[in-house]
Amino acid sequence: MNRKLGLIGLMVLILAGTAPLMADTGSGTLYGNAAAKADSNLTIEDMLLYAIQDEYFARAEYVAIMEKFGAMRPFSNIKDAETTHISWITQAYSAYKLSVPADDAKQHVVVPATLKTAFETGVQAELDNIAMYDKFLATPLMQDARYADLKALFTNLKNASYNHLKAFQTQLSKY
């Protein structure tokens, strides 16, 4: 999914009820897994930034969906899992003596018009998340024993995304 949309394209998708949950806010700045996908020279700081942004974003999107459609699974339990994932990444920031970025994910969220579209978008978001962690794990940095902790972190986050993907696919299969 191309997550960088012009304002007119985003408005068309919103009106059609098929808007992605994450979009370019008009500043041209990519966020989370979209930024990771575009980055061809990943550093440790970049990977941690994109990872925490993606987890912030997932939590914000599930909160917004529940505000619109009511609290329900899998959004409620995955939202809680995202909070745990943010905690793990925050610990990595601390271990590497880096400042944790502020959570501004809410400004990137666009809630779909239908619950079915929310599940479809959840599936795509998890596929994008898995691809991001695959990209991180394939970098030469992650082959360096000094970063074994981050390799384990990204592997755990990727595995969690597979679980979330299954939950969204199960819900989507009911439509």
Structural domains counted in the chain: 1
Query: Is residue 2 one of the residues assigned to a domain?
Result: no
Query: Is residue 81 one of the residues assigned to a domain?
Result: yes
**Alpha-carbon gap, residue 82 to 57, rounded angstroms:** 9
Contacts of 3 (CB under 8 A, 6+ apart): 20, 22, 23, 24, 30, 34, 128
Domain ranges, residue 24: 7-172
61-89: average pLDDT: 94
- The angle subtended at Cα 85 by Cα 119 and Cα 28, nearest 5°, is 65
- Residue 145 DSSP label: G
The whole-model pTM stands at 0.82
User: 13-27, 39-53, 74-88, 149-163 — which is least confidently predicted?
Assistant: 13-27
Q: What is the CATH number of the domain that holds 54?
A: 1.20.1260.10
User: What is the per-residue pLDDT across 4-63, written as a single tens digit (0 to 9) for each?
Assistant: 333 333 333 333 444 444 444 344 578 999 999 999 999 999 999 999 999 999 999 999
